Structure 1
Amino acid sequence: MSTLVSAKLSNLVIRPVAGRIGAEVTGLRLSGDLDLPIIDAIRQALYRFKVLFFRDQEHLDESGQEAFGKLFGNLVSHPTIPSLQGTQHVLDVNGAEARASSWHTDVTFVDAYPQISILRALVIPQFGGDTVWANTAAAYQSLTPPLRELADNLWALHSNRSEYAGYRPTGKPEPLKRYYEVFTSTVYETQHPLVRVHPVTGERTLVLGYFVQKILGVSSADSAHLFALFQGHVTRLENTVRWRWSVGDVAMWDNRATQHSAIDDYGDQPRILRRVTVAGDVPISVDGKPSRLHRKFSFPPPEIATAEREATDSLHNR
């Protein structure tokens, strides 16, 4: 290891900011040309603390954010929302359009959802607009043995068709309507195990959040109760960390072991962030079964479209 790299590592400080999740990293200027030992140190800290926070990164622009993200794998665009103009993979997160104020793991409505998300703050409200993350590995560990056994054997259907899923992004009616139409322009329904095995750490993590449409194999009432039970363990305060944003902050999280929620408490103040995501893997259940895409379609669903056509044909044939 060169003297320069050793010096950079010695300047790196990783300080926990909560008991079970989250650490602030200082002494580092993020870029796309970090040395391998630095990248490895970030990666190991990410697996340990689940979410990392970097202050004072105002030098980063969209291309710099993409370059930094590529150090950790191939970037992947959002499956339905177009990337920010002039970029390949940057998602514009603008509170004037929609506010993801429900707990979720990014993009679990597809099978191989992102492994890492990186969010950069451009415009931050004078007050409010914090983001909270939860440790889904710690949540699993907090379960009693009977509840772990139950969770290990459950599967859930995830979908971006949020009027069914219970996912309620908030915002002004007209921009939200336009956003929702784009967000659900292609509907995904994917079956995930309630518990996945993290491919790097070996930890068992709960795969929940408000993209869940239903728990499979049980009644609707039981599904709601089971979801509330296990989701409640995820969001227990001791499993969470809350971050007060400043312009230039960057948050980076292990999307295979966390949920997050953007707090909608900032009224009409502007809030703009930019996100890139690193391509993930298909979750594997505790008994070795992979997640599977159930179906993918343009709205309305095929069965409704067919019924509407048949009704129209019947009317015309009278």
Structure 2
Amino acid sequence: MTALTGSTAPAPGTTPAIPAPAATPALRPHRIPADGLYEGPRLLRRTPDGWDDRPYERFEVVPQAATIGAEIRGLDLSRPLSAELRTELNRALLEWKVLFFRGQRLSSPAQREFARNWGELETNPLLAPGDSKDVVRFDKTAGGVPTFENVWHTDVTFRERPAMGAVLQLRTVPPAGGDTMWADMAAAYDNLPPEIRARINEARAVHDYLPGFARFYSPAQLAPFQEEFPPVVHPVVRRHPETGRRMLFVNASFTTRIVGLGRAASDRLLRLLFQQAQVPEYQVRWRWQPGDLAFWDNRATQHYAVNDYGTHRRVAERVAIAGDRPY
């Protein structure tokens, strides 16, 4: 066969020429600071591997984000829960970490009764009570005393047995702003670099009520509680007692240091771990309407109350459910 004109085919018996690789362009030195947030795609698992993810039979579930947050429709929470309904709601809580219910407008006793389906209620003498000592009331107006707003945190990790969960209801909602955000701390753990997970899997950290409450209480107000709430030690990574998932369990309000590390090394590692709640892919944000209710798994989440409502009033009541010792 006659070769085509212009063909670059090698002559028979010769070795084809291999083009020399193009030179790599020279770039100026560049790097981002160490221990920053990872940039790029993330692993987003809503449930543990092997989880029996089956349909719900007693209510409608409307997801609000990829791994965390679902609105529950078709229930009246003022009515007693059957054992079957409680079991299915608990499965939804484990799968979605925070559940939202629109327009329930529960009385304070009804809110407490709903929470009691998950255990004994917890009291907190450091926060203003509502109608009962096991109801915390947040009543914010312009110039009012600030509380736990504008900071990512998990409730009461300064206790030996932090709260299992909490039920929050908005009584008065500002015309704009005042949202609450939650972060999935299992997703936060999953996406840590392998070398960081290896460092923290068996680590333990000290938690103390003082750093969080010193933001808005004086030493004279805080001192009487030092014996009631001494510093406690929890695992940096806890296992969820019902799902078995590993979850990051440190927060910027109450975690003060990692046991066995010097102050500088502990601060550096904790800053990296605290940052993880700030990743949008791990978050859900809820825009409140009057009478809305949120029920979250305090073992698996952090939350952030956004104070962006200026001079408007925002009133919320929270009931917390006593928990177990993290492991």
Greater share of residues in helix: 1
1:24-75 C-alpha deviation (Å, 9 max, x unpaired): 00111113611111111110000000001100112x1110100101111111
Distance 1:27 1:182, change over 3 A: farther
Asked if 1 retains the 8 angstrom alpha-carbon contact of 2:58 and 2:85, the reply is: no
From 147, 172, 176, the equivalent of 1:99 is 147
Q: Secondary structure at the match of 2:244?
A: coil
Tell whether 2:320 aligns with 1:277: yes
Which residue of structure 2 aligns with residue 87 of structure 1?
Answer: 132
CA distance in 2, matches of 1:134, 1:208: 13
Q: Is the 8 A contact 1:32 1:67 kept in 2?
A: no
2:95 maps to: 48
The alignment status of 1:157 with 2:203, answered yes or no, reads no
CA displacement 1:243-300 (0-9 Å, x = unmatched): 111111101100000000111211221111000011100001xxxxxxxxxxxxxxxx
Q: One-letter code of the match for 1:65?
A: Q
- Structure 2: distance between partners of 1:161 and 1:57: 35
Across the aligned residues of Structure 1 and Structure 2, the Cα RMSD in angstroms comes to 1.9
Give the superposition deviation at 1:182: 4.8
Distance 2:190 2:205 in 1: 20
* Residues 247/257 of structure 1: CA separation in 2 closer, same or farther (3 Å cut): same
Partners of 2:323 and 2:178 in 1: CA distance: 28
Determine the structure 2 residue equivalent to 1:26.
73
The whole-number CA distance in structure 2 between the counterparts of 1:235 and 1:185 is 34
Q: Secondary structure at the match of 1:161?
A: helix
| Structure 1: gaps (5+ residues) | 1-8, 170-175, 285-318
What 5-or-longer segments of structure 2 have no aligned partner? 1-55
Q: Which residue of 1 aligns with 2:280?
A: 237
2:301 to 258, 261, 265: 258
How far, CA to CA, are the matches of 1:61 and 1:25 in structure 2? 19
Q: Which residue of 1 aligns with 2:18?
A: none
Give 1:192-207 correspondences, 5 Å limit.
Answer: 192-207=234-249
- 2:275 counterpart letter in structure 1: G
Instruction: Say which SS state the counterpart of residue 90 (structure 2) adopts.
Output: helix
Find the aligned partners of 1:181 and 1:93 in 2 and give their Cα distance.
22
Within 5 Å, which residues of 2 pair with 1:1-318?
Answer: 10=57, 12-31=59-78, 33-58=80-105, 60-81=106-127, 83-84=129-130, 86-95=131-140, 96-100=144-148, 101-162=150-211, 176-177=216-217, 182=221, 185-187=224-226, 188=229, 189-210=231-252, 211-284=254-327
Tell me, what secondary structure is at the counterpart of 2:284? Answer: strand
Larger radius of gyration: 2
Provide the TM-score with structure 1 as the length reference: 0.78
- The alignment of Structure 1 onto Structure 2 pairs a total of residues equal to 264
Identity of aligned residues (%): 36
Distance in 2 (CA, whole Å) between partners of 1:42 and 1:147 is: 34
Q: Is the 2:202–2:236 Cα contact (8 Å) retained in structure 1?
A: yes
- Paired with 1:183 and 1:275, the residues of 2 have a C-alpha distance of 22
- Per the normalisation by structure 2, the TM-score is 0.76
Assess if the C-alpha contact under 8 Å between 1:91 and 1:275 holds in 2: yes
